[in-house]
Structure 1
Amino acid sequence: MEQNNNTNTVNLDSIDLHLLQALQTDASLSNQALAERVHVSPPTCLRRVKRLHEAGLIERQIALLSPDKLAAVLGHGLTAIVEITLDKQTEEQQQYFELRVVADSAVQQCYRTSPGPDFVLLVQVADMPAYLALAQRLFTANANVRNVKAFFSLKRAKFMPSVLLGMDKNY
C-alpha cells in the first residue's frame, strides 16, 4: 500500500485487498491468523493493518450481534425501511435533514438517493409506539418533510455489511 502525499489517495495492492476482505469477514482474527490467511509474515501483517487504519480505510471494528438470539431476551424489535421526500431539496435543506436523522440512535443507516425519495433510512426501534415517536420526532416535527413511506421488515434473509473490493468478479 502506497500513500501519495500530494493527493491523499491510497494505492492498494492485492495483499491490502486480501487483508481488508479477511477483516471485514472476521475482524476478531489474531494478527497471526490474519497473516497466515493472507500469506504474509506477522510483522508485515501488523504494519499493513496499522497503515490501513491510519489511512482511514478501516473506520472501526465492531461486533455483529444476532438479533434472532437476542430476541428471546430483549424482544424482536421493529425494523423499518423508510423513504423520505423533502418539500424543498436544496443542499442546505438536505444537509439539515441528514444531520437531524443521523444524530438519532434509532437510525441505523441513512442514504441520500436519486431518483425517487430524497433519503432512505433503515431504522430499528423497540415496537410500533417507538416508531410513532420516531416519526413524530424526525418527520412530522420538521415542516420540510413532504412524504414518508415506511416498509416494516417481517424477516431478515441476509445481512452482509461489507464493501465490495473487486476481488469477487460476480458483483
Structure 2
Amino acid sequence: MPDAEKFSDIDQADLAILAQLQEDSALSNLELAKKVHISPATCLRRVKRLWDAGLIEGEVALLSRERLAATLGHGLEAVVEVSLDRQGSEEQEAFEARVIADDAVQQCYRVSPGPDFILIVYARDMPDYLALAQRLFTSDANVRNVKAFFSVRRAKFRPRIALPRTPR
C-alpha cells in the first residue's frame, strides 16, 4: 500500500468524495458524482486514485446488534484495559499480534499513559468472555493487570474521520 503521507494532491473534490463515502460507501458512482458535483468519469478516476493512494482502506457493512439480537442474542461488548508486566517493544508487539489475531477483538489500541492497551471485545455471553479472558490474558505470563468495562448502552458509534467541510 502506498504511503498516504506522500499523497499531497488532495483537493476539495477528493475531500467531498471521502466525506460522502464515509456516510454511505454503497453509493453508485453516478450517485456519488452527483452528490459531489463532478462528472461520473472524473468521480470514478478520483475514487480509484484515493484507493491506490491508500486513503481508503476498505469498505464494510455495519450490522445492527439490536436487530440481530433476536437471532444471535445480545452478547457482551467490553472495553478492556490491559497492562503488561514488561513493556518492551518486543513484548508489546507479541501481545498485540496475539490479540489482533483473535476474532473477538474488534479494536486494539496501544495507549499511553495508563494501561498499555485498550481493547474493544465482543463475546456471545459471560462464559464466552471468560474463555476469551483465559486465552488472551490469563495464559499470558506478561499480562500484569486486566480491567474490563461492560457496555450497557452504546450512545454513539460513528467510525469516521472528521474532514474539512467542502464549500459545495
**Interval of TM-score (by shorter of Structure 1 and Structure 2):** over 0.9
Pick closer, same or farther for the CA change 1:7–1:130 going to 2, 3 Å.
closer
Q: TM-score, normalised by structure 1?
A: 0.92
CA deviation vs aligned residue, 1:32-74 (integer Å, no higher than 9, x gap) = 1100111100000000000111111111111111111001111
SS in 1 for 2:58: coil
Q: CA RMSD in A?
A: 1.7
Equivalent residue pairs, number? 164
- How far is the alpha carbon of 1:163 from its aligned partner? 1.3
Q: Specify the code of the residue in structure 2 equivalent to 1:127.
A: D
* Corresponding residue of 2:101: 103
* Corresponding residue of 2:110: 112
Q: Specify the code of the residue in structure 2 equivalent to 1:90.
A: G
Alignment equivalent of 1:89, drawn from 83, 87, 90: 87
* Corresponding residue of 1:45: 43
Q: Specify the code of the residue in structure 1 equivalent to 2:46.
A: R
- How far is the alpha carbon of 1:145 from its aligned partner? 0.3
- How far is the alpha carbon of 1:164 from its aligned partner? 1.8
SS in 1 for 2:112: coil
Matched, 1:74 2:68: no
SS in 2 for 1:15: helix
Alignment equivalent of 2:155, drawn from 149, 157, 162: 157
**Runs of 4+ that moved beyond 3 A:** 5-8
Q: Specify the code of the residue in structure 1 equivalent to 2:80.
A: V
Does the CA contact (< 8 Å) of 2:3 and 2:53 recur in 1?
Answer: no
* Corresponding residue of 1:135: 133
* Corresponding residue of 1:32: 30
- How far is the alpha carbon of 1:6 from its aligned partner? 10
Q: TM-score, normalised by structure 2?
A: 0.94
* Corresponding residue of 1:148: 146
Q: Specify the code of the residue in structure 1 equivalent to 2:83.
A: T
Pick closer, same or farther for the CA change 1:144–1:7 going to 2, 3 Å.
closer
- How far is the alpha carbon of 1:155 from its aligned partner? 0.8
Q: Aligned partners of 2:57 and 2:108: how far apart in 1? A: 17
CA deviation vs aligned residue, 1:111-143 (integer Å, no higher than 9, x gap) = 000110000000011000000000000001000
Q: Aligned partners of 2:130 and 2:4: how far apart in 1? A: 46
- How far is the alpha carbon of 1:7 from its aligned partner? 9.3
- How far is the alpha carbon of 1:166 from its aligned partner? 3.2
* Corresponding residue of 1:9: 6
- How far is the alpha carbon of 1:8 from its aligned partner? 6.1
- How far is the alpha carbon of 1:25 from its aligned partner? 0.7
Unaligned stretches of 5+ residues in structure 2: none
CA deviation vs aligned residue, 1:77-131 (integer Å, no higher than 9, x gap) = 1000000000000011000000000000000000000110000000011000000
Q: Specify the code of the residue in structure 1 equivalent to 2:41.
A: P
